């Protein structure tokens, strides 16, 4: 396993099977000589190589150390509702640059607390959205609930508790939409499991009226 092109080349010349984990984002094409290119070690499946699989995956999801982020809902690219039919609640990326740098790009899920409406299941992408070729890494949560109207400006808090898959490009818009809906179904089922369900009661998600007004925890 290597994260550099020279390492991949040396491994192949030695007759080894090589899995590449690129250290530079969006540069996977430089590692085509590897037997497999993965986004991060989260995506390493040992059974592909004749080894016993990891036993920490649960119902097509991988539990992770919970991460908590939040901020006011802002307008995004405008393609969630208009192009995909999947409205996302975008957050200002500058509020959590450390999260963006520490978390590998991919599809995650967890719980979302919305100041005026309660707590909901959510699935989200962290990354560059290869189909649209974003210039910057973004966080785009999709709250798995039908809302009657927009809630721009409202305080949104997220508890990210699990991982589903790496981000990927898709040949058509229809295949992208189908995969996002499948991600939503996986998240819906997983969040009912005890390993994830308890995070719904996190105090971080419960935003009081006073906190919304003052901007301070109570």
* pLDDT per residue of the chain (218 residues) written in tens, 0 to 9: 556 767 777 888 888 888 877 766 556 567 778 888 877 778 788 888 788 888 899 999 999 999 999 999 987 666 555 567 788 888 877 777 777 677 788 999 999 999 888 999 999 998 887 767 766 778 889 999 988 788 888 999 999 999 999 988 888 989 999 999 999 999 999 999 999 999 999 999 987 544 443 344 43
44, 137: one domain: no
For the segment 129-144, what is each residue's pLDDT rounded down to a tens digit? 776 776 677 888 999 9
Annotated active-site residue in 94, 136, 140, 211: 140
pLDDT for 209 equals 42
Please choose, from the candidates 103, 146, 148, the residue with its C-alpha nearest in 3D space to the C-alpha of residue 127: 103
Catalytic-residue membership of 140: yes
Kindly report the CATH number assigned to the domain that includes residue 173.
Answer: 2.40.30.30
Count of domains for the chain: 2
The answer to the question of residue 54 being in a domain is no
pLDDT for 218 equals 33
For 43, phi and psi rounded to 5 degrees?
Answer: -100, 10
45, 148: one domain: no
pLDDT for 26 equals 55
87, 41: one domain: no
The answer to the question of residue 55 being in a domain is no
67, 30: one domain: no
Q: How far apart are CA 56 and CA 17, in angstroms?
A: 24
40, 124: one domain: no
72, 146: one domain: yes
158, 74: one domain: yes
98, 28: one domain: no
For 205, phi and psi rounded to 5 degrees?
Answer: -80, -15
71, 33: one domain: no
The answer to the question of residue 42 being in a domain is yes
102, 188: one domain: yes
The answer to the question of residue 218 being in a domain is no
10, 117: one domain: no
The answer to the question of residue 119 being in a domain is yes
Helical residues (DSSP H) of the chain, grouped into ranges: 5-13, 79, 97-102, 173-190, 194-197, 209-214
For the segment 166-186, what is each residue's pLDDT rounded down to a tens digit? 988 888 989 999 999 999 999
**Domain span at 9:** 5-49
Q: How far apart are CA 27 and CA 21, in angstroms?
A: 10
In Å, how far from its chain's centre is CA 7?
Answer: 28
137, 175: one domain: yes
């Amino acid at each position: 396993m290597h994260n550099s092109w020279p390492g991949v080349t040396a491994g192949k010349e030695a007759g080894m099977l090589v899995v590449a984990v690129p250290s530079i984002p969006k540069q996977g094409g430089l590692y085509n000589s590897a037997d497999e290119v993965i986004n991060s070690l989260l995506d390493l499946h040992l059974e592909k190589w004749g080894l016993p699989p990891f036993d920490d995956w649960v119902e097509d999801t991988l539990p992770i150390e919970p991460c908590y982020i939040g901020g006011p809902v802002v307008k995004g690219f405008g393609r969630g509702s208009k192009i995909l039919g999947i409205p996302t609640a975008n957050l200002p990326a500058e509020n959590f640059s450390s999260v963006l740098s520490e978390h590998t790009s991919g599809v995650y899920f967890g719980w979302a607390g919305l100041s005026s409406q309660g707590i909901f299941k959510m699935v989200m992408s962290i990354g560059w959205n290869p189909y649209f070729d974003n210039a910057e890494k973004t966080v785009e949560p999709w709250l798995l609930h039908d809302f009657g109207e927009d809630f721009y400006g409202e305080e949104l808090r997220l508890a990210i508790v699990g991982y589903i898959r790496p981000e990927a490009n898709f040949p058509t818009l229809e295949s992208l939409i189908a995969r996002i809906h499948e991600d939503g179904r996986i998240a819906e089922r997983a969040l009912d499991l005890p390993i994830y369900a308890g995070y719904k009661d996190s105090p971080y998600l419960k935003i009081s009226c006073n906190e919304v007004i003052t901007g301070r925890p109570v």
